[in-house]
A and B are shown apart, each in its own frame.
Chain A
Amino acid sequence: MQVPLLSEEIAKGNHPEFLFWVGCAGSFDQRAQSITKAFALILNKIGCSYAILGSEEMCTGDPVRRAGNEFMFQMMAYQNIQLLNAYQVKKIITTCPHCFNTLKNEYPELGGSYEVIHHATLLQQLLDEGKIVIKEGGQYKGKKITYHDSCYLGRSNGIYEAPRKVIESLDASLVEMKRCRSNGLCCGAGGAQMFKEEEKGNRRINWERTEEALHTGAEIIAGACPFCNTMLTDGIKGKEKENQVLVKDIAELIAESL
């Protein structure tokens, strides 16, 4: 798969319209890598003008900031903003709600102001504009799909409808969990929990959420966040349902329906 690097594009005198901010999960986590690839495939297919930073990208600082390490957050933010500003980046797309929230809401007051777009919103736009056309009788037609709201996309940024519209475009039947939209239950990964053992309790948060998702009877649990994806995939494995129920990112659902 060919994905343009921003440094090379700039050297060639090109200024791609979008920077695709891949994020740490999207770059390194095996499961999340396929989300990244699915999204890049869509971008390539529609002939989108974009590039990635490759080895120049650094963690936005979301997990360290939420763990309480403001020094390290500021160090990451400073270096990222210097780079983005040097490349005169205007529009950023990201598949990670955590990167999205940090870039969109936390970088502006540190000197980094960009138009930041989450892939759920972009996919919905591309579908609306007819730039993405879903093939007839795709594999998700008529399938029961439930959507898990990521906290950083939903409650933090009010994006509830775009990912649902994307799922509906597949002619699938969207079923809601009891706790959805602004009442959505966290997957358990936010606030740097992804990087440590859960505190003592009587259940795991991802198990609680997975049970709720399974309760809908859906064959596919769709999400729009690589961390939620990991947590729910683990939950499904824990319930030994990995052969019946799939956890998918909306980008994957679209990429597989082109």
Chain B
Amino acid sequence: MTHLPQILFSILLLVAGFVFYKRFSAIVQVIQLGREEQLNDQPRERWKNVLLLALGQKKMFKNPLVAILHLIIYVGFIIINIELLEIVLDGVSGNHRLFLPVLGSFYRLFINSFECLALGVIVVCIIFLIRRYALPIWRFRHSDLKGWPSLDATIILCAEIVLMSLFLLMNASDTLLQNLDIEPYAYHKTGAFLVSSLIVPILSAFSVETLTAIERFSWWAHITGILLFLNYLSRSKHLHILLAFPNAYFSRLTPVGKMKNMPDVQREVIYAFQPELATEQSSAPPPKFGAADIGDLSWKNLLDAYSCTECGRCSAACPATQTGKQLSPRRIMMATRDRCESIGERISKGLTTDDGKYLLHDYISEEELRACTTCNACVEECPVSISPLDIIVQMRRYLIMEKSSAPQEWTMMFGNVENNFAPWKFSPEQRADWMNHS
């Protein structure tokens, strides 16, 4: 009977771990539907990006105040995970405050710093809720976030507030029980902690039984909440806390102005000009040019989609979004992810990936794609190394090369480039005439 909590806890841990593992493998499986792209050269540069962009959150510091607030949540979350280790080990082994005898007087220092961070996280989450709902911040008010995305953000912020509060409540009731010499708490005398001691006066009116119940409830609710949150985040925009790291590692190291080459097209053109080189007739079917669906995009584009936390810095900087065009780079990423999720769902049900729908038209319109000026503002802004632009240009390639779908003016421009070698209708013979104009 005494081992029941341990058994229950171990089962909880295993189930949560298993569900998360299944979900994570499903995401990896969807990402692998993307086309191959080699992104593991120059490991030094890549690790530098992980350190600077993901760990160091370099791009967040474009707005230092928000960066510091975000950093508090982020550091809080990472460091409090050390405390989680103790909680998990306590739960499995049936101990209480396992690290106390090991760390001795340092233990208080640790818990005190965790408590300060927990308070910091609560305060910042409240500030973020106010920013999101009470302040006129354009990127949070944009129609991209209508419905679920907005609710998702609220759930995440509230969940963090609840989890941190439970941690503080647990410590407060624990220290009270220590003072009342109640076992097992009295065996692990830690003394009062910095933040939770502020709640102690509110709890001191309760009976020992109530306090024990509060302590046990907080302990269980905190750890259960964290395990639930882990599984929630894998289904939400919050996945960025994990994927920002691989996404920084695999970010492109080429100049941002350089578009990806299409070697198949390059070869075709070389053969057209130098037919003598076209000796080996490839038996492979002609490749599809550009992207109409997620399977045509690179795996990195799909990792980008799962890494996006819908902050909207891209759209706030996008000249098209800012002038009321249909295009919003954030929505390009959200649409790509939605498409990934719906394909992933089919795979998990054992169905084929073909549901008669495509990323193009069913999720992203031609009008959106046509509005992009390829200015790279979205790429420059993204704190987690996402490129909405890369998806846009690949889909433009599909429209032009597979569907011959172009605005009439572009068709004329193509004709001019083909016949006059300039986008305007001027004869190449007039190219140097400028020097004779007055």
A interface residues, Cβ below 8 angstroms from B = 1-3, 5, 22, 24, 26-29, 33, 36-37, 40, 52-59, 61, 63-72, 74-76, 78-79, 82, 101, 105-106, 109-110, 151-152, 155-157, 182-186, 188-205, 208-209
Residues of A within 8 A of B272 (CB): 75
B44 at the interface (CB under 8 A from A): no
Residues of B within 8 A of A157 (CB): 255, 257
B406 at the interface (CB under 8 A from A): yes
A183 and B324 within 8 A (CB): no
A69 and B400 within 8 A (CB): yes
Name which of B257, B273, B324, B429 has the most chain A CB atoms within 10 A of its CB.
B257
Q: How far is the CA of A193 from the CA of B270 in the complex (A)?
A: 28
B421 and A58 within 8 A (CB): yes
Q: How far is the CA of A214 from the CA of B413 in the complex (A)?
A: 32
Of B257, B262, B422, the residue contacting A24 (CB under 8 A) is B422
Query: What are 27 A-B interface contacts by the 8 Å CB criterion?
Result: A22-B432, A36-B434, A37-B434, A55-B428, A57-B428, A58-B421, A58-B422, A61-B417, A64-B417, A66-B393, A68-B396, A71-B268, A75-B269, A82-B273, A105-B254, A106-B261, A151-B377, A155-B380, A156-B376, A183-B380, A184-B377, A188-B319, A189-B373, A191-B373, A195-B409, A202-B323, A205-B373
Please count the residue pairs between chain A and chain B whose beta carbons lie under 8 angstroms apart in the complex: 216
Measured CB to CB, the closest approach of chain B to A202, in angstroms, equals: 3
Binds A, one of B152-160, B162-170, B207-215, B364-372: B364-372
Q: How far is the CA of A189 from the CA of B367 in the complex (A)?
A: 16
A203 and B323 within 8 A (CB): yes
B147 at the interface (CB under 8 A from A): no
A68 and B430 within 8 A (CB): no
Q: Across the two chains, which residue of chain A brings its CB closest to B269? A: A74
B435 at the interface (CB under 8 A from A): yes
Residues of B within 8 A of A27 (CB): 422, 426, 430-434
Residues of A within 8 A of B398 (CB): 68
B361 at the interface (CB under 8 A from A): no
Measured CB to CB, the closest approach of chain B to A212, in angstroms, equals: 11
| Besides A2-B435, A3-B435, A24-B422, 20 new A-B residue pairs in contact (Cβ under 8 A), listed by A number | A53-B431, A54-B431, A56-B428, A67-B413, A69-B401, A79-B421, A82-B273, A101-B255, A105-B257, A106-B258, A110-B266, A151-B374, A185-B322, A192-B413, A193-B373, A196-B370, A199-B370, A199-B371, A200-B326, A201-B320
Chain B residues 386 to 438 lying within 8 A of chain A, measured CB to CB, are 393, 396-401, 406-407, 409-410, 413-414, 417-418, 421-424, 426, 428-437
A66 and B428 within 8 A (CB): no
Of A53, A54, A71, A193, the residue contacting B401 (CB under 8 A) is A71
B327 at the interface (CB under 8 A from A): yes
Of A1, A199, A204, A205, the residue contacting B435 (CB under 8 A) is A1
B interface residues, Cβ below 8 angstroms from A = 62, 254-259, 261-262, 265-266, 268-270, 272-273, 289-290, 317, 319-320, 322-327, 367, 370-377, 379-380, 393, 396-401, 406-407, 409-410, 413-414, 417-418, 421-424, 426, 428-437
Of A52, A155, A188, the residue contacting B256 (CB under 8 A) is A155
Residues of B within 8 A of A53 (CB): 431
Given A64-B414, A74-B265, does the pair A105, B432 have CB atoms closer than 8 Å?
Answer: no
A186 and B423 within 8 A (CB): no
Residues of A within 8 A of B396 (CB): 66-68
B367 and A199 within 8 A (CB): yes
B401 and A186 within 8 A (CB): no
Q: Across the two chains, which residue of chain A brings its CB closest to B395? A: A68
B431 and A202 within 8 A (CB): no
Given A58-B421, A155-B256, does the pair A208, B410 have CB atoms closer than 8 Å?
Answer: no
Residues of A within 8 A of B435 (CB): 1-3, 37, 40
Q: Across the two chains, which residue of chain A brings its CB closest to B267? A: A74
A156 and B256 within 8 A (CB): yes
Q: How far is the CA of A252 from the CA of B290 in the complex (A)?
A: 41
Q: Across the two chains, which residue of chain B brings its CB closest to A192? A: B410
Of A28, A29, A201, the residue contacting B323 (CB under 8 A) is A201
Residues of A within 8 A of B325 (CB): 198-201
A106 and B259 within 8 A (CB): yes
Name which of B266, B326, B379, B399 has the most chain A CB atoms within 10 A of its CB.
B266
Q: Across the two chains, which residue of chain A brings its CB closest to B370? A: A199
Of B255, B400, B409, the residue contacting A68 (CB under 8 A) is B400
Name which of B272, B320, B373 has the most chain A CB atoms within 10 A of its CB.
B373
Q: Across the two chains, which residue of chain A brings its CB closest to B368? A: A199
A156 and B434 within 8 A (CB): no
Of B320, B374, B417, the residue contacting A205 (CB under 8 A) is B320
Measured CB to CB, the closest approach of chain A to B263, in angstroms, equals: 9
B377 and A155 within 8 A (CB): yes
Q: How far is the CA of A36 from the CA of B435 in the complex (A)?
A: 9
Measured CB to CB, the closest approach of chain B to A122, in angstroms, equals: 19
Q: How far is the CA of A103 from the CA of B159 in the complex (A)?
A: 51
Measured CB to CB, the closest approach of chain A to B13, in angstroms, equals: 45
Q: How far is the CA of A136 from the CA of B413 in the complex (A)?
A: 45
